[in-house]
């Protein structure tokens, strides 16, 4: 594999894990989640395509980036 592709994968992986870390922390602290159960969301964030699960979680829980005043 070319070094440039390795770099790309590393960057994507880093982004995925940082985003997943932040969102998992949010998931753990959140009292109510869409659908009522937290474990499926944890699986989606971690295992669904890199970053795609995080995007889905953000889409259904926009309060993270719009906290109540």
Partner 1 sequence: MESRKRKGSVAIHRARQDEPSKSTAEHETPSVQSKIRASFRPFILPLLLLFCTLFYYYGELVNWAAWNALRNEFFYGVHDVHRLLFLVPIIYAGYNARVKGAVIVTLVSFVIFLPRAFFISPFPDPLLRMVLFTVTAGLIGSLIGVIRDQADRVRKLHIVVEDERNKLLNIIDSMADGILVTGPDFEIRFMNSVMVKDFGDGIGLPCYKHLHKLDVPCEQCMIPKVINNKEIGKWACGLGDSRAYEIVAAPYIDIDGVVCQLSIFRKVAGSKNV
Positions touching partner 1 (CB under 8 A) are 4, 7-8, 11-12, 15, 18-19, 22-23, 51, 55, 58-59, 62-67
Query: In the 3-class helix/strand/coil scheme, how is the chain assigned residue by residue?
Result: CCHHHHHHHHHHHHHHHHHHHHHHHHHHHCCCCCCCCHHHHHHHHHHCCCCHHHHHHHHHCHHHHCCCC
Q: Residue 11 CB, nearest distance to partner 1 (Å)?
A: 7
Q: State which residue, 42 or 54, has the beta carbon closest to partner 1.
A: 54
Q: Residue 62 CB, nearest distance to partner 1 (Å)?
A: 4
């Amino acid at each position: 594999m070319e070094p440039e592709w390795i770099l790309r994968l590393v960057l994507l992986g880093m982004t995925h894990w940082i985003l997943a870390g932040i969102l998992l922390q949010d998931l753990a602290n959140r009292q109510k989640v869409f659908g009522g159960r937290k474990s499926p969301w944890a699986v989606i964030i971690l295992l669904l395509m890199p970053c795609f699960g995080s995007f889905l979680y953000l889409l259904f829980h926009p309060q993270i980036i719009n906290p109540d005043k």
